[in-house]
Amino acid sequence: MESQRSSSSNRETLTGSPHLNAPLNTLHVDRCTPIHRLHALLYAAAILGLVYHRLTSILASFTFAEGCMLLADLVLAFMWGCSRAFKWRPVHRREFPDRLPECDAWPKLDVFVCTADPKKEPPVGVVSTALSAMAFEYPADKLSVYVSDDGGADVTLFAFMEGARFARHWLPFCRENGVQVRSPEVFFASSSSGCSAGGGDVDKLKVRASSILTNAPLILTIDCDMYSNDPTSPQRALCYFLDPIASSKLAYVQFPQRFQGLNKSDIYGGEMKHLFKMNPYGMDGFGGPNYLGSNTFLARRALFDSSLESESGRNLLEPEKVLEMATEAAACNYETGTKWGKTIGFCYGSLTEDLHTGFWLHCEGWTSVFCDPPQAAFLGDAPKTLHDALSQCKRWNVGQYEVGFTRHSPLTFGVRKTSLGLGLTYSHLAFWGLWCIPINNTYALLPQLALVNSRPLFPKSSDPWFYLYTYLFVAAYTQDMLDFIYHKGTLRFWWSDQRMWLMRSLTSFTFGSIQFACKQLNISTQSFNVTNKVMDDEQIKRYDEGTFDFGVDSPFFVILSTAALLNLCAILVGIFRYNINMVAEMLLTGYGVANSWPVYEAIFLRSDNGKMPDGVKLRAFFLTGILFAGGFLVFNA
C-alpha cells in the first residue's frame, strides 16, 4: 500500500524543475491560419447575402417552404459561425521527454480503466488494456492501476485474477525486450473488434476511492478498449505538468483517440477526425481542448475545490482502515449532500460527463493541452457496424444537449467565463445535433419535393444569385476536403466522413433530439447502452470488404431508406422533365443520390445478411409515398 498524500503535496510534486532550464515543450500557430481567417470573412459576407436574398423573397411572397429554407439556412449559419472558432487560431505542440528531470522527481500516477458488460466488452480485452497501462515506462512504485467492473461479473474478476498472474511474466518481458505495443492481445496478433464506450459513472467512484488509497497527483482515464500503443506517453504528459509556467493552471493533457483496424475506406467514419483531432487543435489555441473522456492525464487537484484540499491532509492510516474508507468512498450514497459531481470530481447530470467536466474546468479558469505525437499514444476500436456507429452518436447527442440547454450553456455562460473563441467551440459541440434541422427536416426533403412539383426554391442558373448559392456549397466542401487532407487524411476517408455526417444528421441527431425533448418532458425513453464490441465473422468480413451492414430492423434505416428513395425518384422525375430553372434542385438531389449508393445496393441488389430488412423496405416505400403526397399539398396549395 502506497503512502497517502495531501492535495497540497500534489501541487508541489507537479512543479518540478526542467533539466538544464531547456523548454520541455514548444508551441506554434498553424501556418494556414491567415488563409482560414480570410476565407471566414469572405464566407461570412456570402452568408449575409444569402440571408438577405431569402428575406427579400419571403417578403415578396411568403410560402411555407421558403420559411423552412430560411430557418435551415439560419441554423447552418449558426453552426458554421461556431465552427469557425476551431480555425481561428489552431496551434501545434511538441514535447521533449529527454529533457525531463530524473524519475525520482516524477509524480505518482493513478490509471482508471472501466468496464460494464462482459458480453459486449470481452474481459480479455479489458485485461490487455490494464496490462498495457501497467507496462508504462514509469517507476513501478509511482504507478497504480484501478479497474472497476460496473456489471460485477464473475468472469471479469476471474480474468483479472489470471491477468495478475500473467503480469508477473509479461511486464518484465516487455521491459527486457523493448516491446513498444504492450497490450498482450495486440502483441500476440489476437483480433478483436468494437468501439470505445465511456464508463463515466465508474470513473466518478474511482476518483473518490483512489484519493484514499494512493492519492496520486496525476490521473489517467482510458476506455477499456483503448490500449497503450506507446509506453512513453506519460513522459510526454509530464512535459506539460512539470513545466513551471504551464502547470500552475493546467487541468489535463488530452491525447487524441485513434483507432486500429479501419477498412480501406473507413465507411462508417470511425476515425472521427474532426471530433478527435481537428477540433482539439483549434480549441488548444483558446485555452485547451475539451475533455474526451479517454486518453487523458488529469491533475487531481483540478477535480477538487479548495475546501476539499484543506481537508485532505491526513496522517498514515492502518491498511485495514484505508480499505474501509475506500469502500465507503466508492458507495453510491457517499456523495449525498456533498459537492461531488458539482465542484468536486467529474460533473454529473449528462451522458457526456466528459464534455461537461472539461467545460466546467475551463469555466473555472483551468487550461488544458492537446498532445498529438507522431506515434499514436493509444489505440482503440471503432464501430464496425452502421447501427452501432449511429447509436453511439445518438447517445453522444443527448448528452451534448444536456450541456447546451442549461443555464450554464456554453453559448452564454461559457463565452462570459472563458473567451469568445472557446465558448463558440464548446457551443458547436453542445449543439452538434442541430444539424438535423437543416439536413433532415429541410435539405433532404424540400428541394427534392420541389423538383417533383416543378416549384423552384433556388435562383435559376441565369440569375446572378445562383452563383452565390453555388459558392457557399462548393467553398464549404472544398475547405473541408482540404482540411481533411492537411491533417493526413485521404480523399476516400473524406468522402466516407461527409457521407456519415449526412447519415448522422438524418438519424442520430434526429432521434437524439427527440429523445432529449422527451427526457425534458419526463417521457420514458431508452436508457444508456454500452456499445457492442463483439461481432460475428460475417459482420467482420463485410466490414473488411467495405460493405455496409444494414442487417438490423432499425428506425435509423427506415429514415435512411426513405431519404434515399425520395432522392432517387426525384432525380428520375427531374431528368425526365428537365427544367432549366431548377438546376440547383437537380444538383442537390444528385448529390443525395451519390451519397445514397450503399443504401440502394442494400435495398435492390444485395442478398446477404447485411441487406436491408424487408420490413424496413416496406415502411420506407410507404413513407416515401406519404412525403410525395405531402409535398404535392405544400407546393400546390
User: What pLDDT score does 322 carry?
Assistant: 47
User: What pLDDT score does 349 carry?
Assistant: 57
Report the DSSP pairing between strands 143-149 and 109-115. parallel
Instruction: Kindly report the pTM of this predicted structure.
Output: 0.86
Return the HEC string of 115-174: ECCCCCCCHHHHHHHHHHHHCCCCCHHHEEEEEEECCCCHHHHHHHHHHHHHHHHHHHHH
| pLDDT of residue 396 exceeding 90 | yes
Q: Which of 150, 201, 463, 553 is catalytic?
A: 150
Exposure string (b/e) for 554-576, b if CB count within 10 Å is 16 or more?
A: bebbbbbbbbbbbbbbbbebbee
User: What pLDDT score does 527 carry?
Assistant: 56
Confidence of residue 581 (pLDDT cuts 50, 70, 90): confident
**Domain-by-domain residue ranges, the chain?**
42-88+419-531+550-636, 107-312+334-385
Q: Which of 133, 120, 112 is nearest to 234 (CA)?
A: 133
Q: Catalytic: 354?
A: yes
Residues 313-321, mean pLDDT to the nearest whole number: 47
- Asked whether 157 and 497 are in contact (CB, 8 A), the reply is no
Bridge partners (DSSP) of residue 201 are none
What confidence tens digit (pLDDT) does each residue in 46-66 have?
A: 999 999 999 999 998 888 999
Confidence of residue 530 (pLDDT cuts 50, 70, 90): low
Residues 24-29, mean pLDDT to the nearest whole number: 95
Phi-psi region at 469: left, alpha or beta (left = phi > 0; alpha = psi -120 to 50): alpha
Percentage of residues of the chain with pLDDT beyond 70: 83
Q: Which of 110, 230, 266, 354 is catalytic?
A: 354
Residue 290 DSSP label: P
CATH 3.40.50.11810 is the classification of domain 107-312+334-385: no
Q: Catalytic: 150?
A: yes
Task: Give the orientation angle of helix 614-636 with respect to helix 64-88, to 10 degrees.
Answer: 110
User: What pLDDT score does 188 carry?
Assistant: 72
Confidence of residue 122 (pLDDT cuts 50, 70, 90): confident
- Asked whether 506 and 445 are in contact (CB, 8 A), the reply is no
